[in-house]
Structure formats: structure tokens, C-alpha cells
Structure 1
Amino acid sequence: MTYDLDDDPSRIQLDAVWAWLSTEAYWGRWRTRDQVETQVRNAWRVVGAYSRDTGELVGFARAVSDGVGFAYLADVFVLSEHRGQGLGKRLLRLMIDDGPGSDMRWILFTGDAHGLYRGFGFAEPDETAMVRPARTPT
């Protein structure tokens, strides 16, 4: 199967993003659909992966940024039936390395796929990093 990837926010299929995030995302199923739509709409950048055969969204990533020196990577996913074909790497490459934030400091929180993210320069924080946990249920 072949795929097209791009960062056109108007092409993002919110039904597909909501369907996956509301049922599969261990990190954020507490969000309402309105909240997810707000996050996508207000993102600094979004990247979608689409089946060339059907045009359906099969992968997604979004980022929040100040546009200068800092970016936060969030909500990265590839539908299970499309995994194992390098889509996760392609999403991250387009989002991070080939995008306008390639020289920025990137941050993410994840409970899995550490090997994938290390391949893009992510590492565990050092003693200069601090995090205030969310007060919202996770």
C-alpha cells in the first residue's frame, strides 16, 4: 500500500482523529471531542498520513510551538492495520526534520515507542528539566 503525507491542516479528517484518540490513546481518552477539535485547530502544525487508495487518514501527529525555539509533539498515531510500513518514521521526519522546527528543542511525553523517538534525537530529560503534572485526569 502507498501513502501520501502532508501538513495541510484542512485535509485532516477530524472524525478519524477523534475515532482513534477517543478509543485507543492511553494518554488522553479523557478529552471530549470538542477539546480534541480545539487542540487540532489550534495546533502549530499537524501532519497526516493518507492511504493513496482510499484517501483516508491512517496516521496523525500534531505539535504546539512558539514558532521559534520550542515545540511539543503530541497525539502521534498510525492505525494498527497500517503499522510496520515506516509510517511512524515518515510522520516524524515530516513533522520534525523536514519542517520549520528542525532546529528547535522538541519535547514529548510517551509511555511507548521510545526507540522510534530516540531515532529522532529524543532522550530522557536531564537535571535541567522539570514538569508540573496536569490536574486533569489522564
Structure 2
Amino acid sequence: MITTKGDYELDDDRTRVDTDVVWDFMSTEAYWARWRERSDVEAQLAAAWRILGVYEKDSGRMVGYARAISDGVSIAYLADVFVLDAARGNGLGKALVHEMVENGAGARMRWMLHTNDAHGLYAQFGFGVPDGTYLERPSRR
């Protein structure tokens, strides 16, 4: 599946994902992921239910990414959403989240995520404070 957003393409073809771009961002810029080893990031990519990459139309260079894990039926978790600095300001973060949670098999699922920022972005897609039925066991890291 390929959709377009201006000078960019969003594609869920895993073979297009530039693992070096994902690793570079996760290991240097992502406040939520800098503890991961490259092998962790590669394992998460391989096991993901769905991935989306954002690519420049002209060069094919990857400039954004999102990953989801899911049972494929009722529940999904959105993770590792990012857009590289040089491509920000083009609505690509919003396009990534929209494509992931509003289109395809995930459109009817219950979605979860953790974030320290971008609450306004996620609120546009119905994300909010969990109700009283949601419990979580925090990481022991």
C-alpha cells in the first residue's frame, strides 16, 4: 500500500524500511528508545504487526517511521513514531498516525501508546487518558 502526502510516500512495505535510519534515530534522538541495542530494534521491526515508512518521492530516502504490535483483531499498540528533523512541518507525523490507526485492519481496534510529548497530535485520533478498566505493570528498567 502506498499513499502520498505532498512530496512524500507512506508505505507499509517492510522491505523498503531503512534499518540504519530507524537505528540512528532510536539510538540518538528517541527519548523512549536510547536504551535499546540495535538487535532489539531489528527484532522489534521483524516482529511488528505493521510498519509504516515515509519516503521522499524523488530520492526514496526514508524520513519517517511508525510501528504497531497487535493481535490483529481487537487491540493494537502504536510505537516508535518519528519524522526526521529535515522533513518535519509537512504533516507527516499526522499522516503516519492517521494511516496506522484510521486505515486498514487497525481502524476498528482499541489502540494504546505511551508518550511524553505530542499529546495534541494523538488526541486528534481519539487517544486520551485511559478509563478505569486499564491497568499497567511498568517496566523494571
Which TM-score band (shorter chain)? over 0.9
1:37 pairs, out of 37, 42, 48, with 42
**How many positions carry a matched residue from both structures?**
136
Segments ≥4 residues shifted beyond 4 Å: none
Letter in 2 for 1:21: M
Alignment of 1:1-138 (within 5 A): 2-136=7-141
Q: Which amino acid letter does the alignment assign opposite residue 96 of structure 2? A: L
What are the superposed Cα offsets for residues 33-62 of structure 1, whole Å, 9 maximum, x if unpaired? 000000011000000000112211100000
Moved more, 65-74 or 80-89: 80-89
Q: Percent identity?
A: 57
Any stretches of 5+ residues in structure 2 without a counterpart?
Answer: 1-5
Structure 2 letter corresponding to 1:19? D
Deviation readout 1:40-92 (Å, 9 max, x if unpaired): 11000000000112211100000000000000000000001111111011111
Q: CA deviation at 1:24?
A: 0.4
Q: Which runs of 5+ in 1 are unaligned?
A: none
RMSD between aligned alpha carbons? 0.9
TM-score (norm 1): 0.96
SS in 2 for 1:62: strand
Q: Amino acid of the residue matched to residue 134 of structure 2?
A: A
